[in-house]
Amino acid sequence: MQKKIIWFLLGAVFLWVLYDFGKSYLPGNATNGKDAVLLETAAPEASEAQAGINIGQIAYDFELEDMDGNTVKLSDYRGKKVFLNFWASWCPPCKAEMPHLQVFSEEQEDTVVLGVNVTTSESHPDNAALFLDENEISFPNLYGTEEVFSQYQVQSLPTSYLIGSDGKIYERIIGAVTKDILEAKFSMIK
């Protein structure tokens, strides 16, 4: 008799866990913000895309200063494809990819390379501008903030996002890229 009661209780607990778990993943019934985002981004409608960093979402907009002190927004580039690149002057893979990014930016008319320096990791704030000058990098570069690094989940350098002319994210890349890789990837993006 005791074995039957134990099996009955285990079965009831198991069914409750299945019910509770399944209920939280039904559309409109997400129990926390993370689940809600996962559900809503699985197949976003073109007109209903939400801001975020997942493929298909509209890239989070931000407002940062460029190396000359001008304010720049990511949304200023809407209508053009954007290669959003987070980098630091001390980072060996960042140093290796910079010449590729420069050549790519010079050859593209419909794609903007936009660098964001991970300023909080620099030993001195002037290192970013010095690095750009020494390497003759002319594409737009901005001083990043902790808020933007957190939003874009920058944990390794370089971290980059391929953004379409519609503002949607098409890919996230962790690590260095070459001009050839960028040409191939952006040829498939509208």
Fold of 47-186: Glutaredoxin (3.40.30)
User: pTM of this prediction?
Assistant: 0.75
Length of the chain: 190
The tens digit of pLDDT for each residue in 127-172 reads 999 999 999 999 999 999 999 999 999 999 999 999 999 999 999 9
Q: Does residue 82 have a pLDDT over 70? A: yes
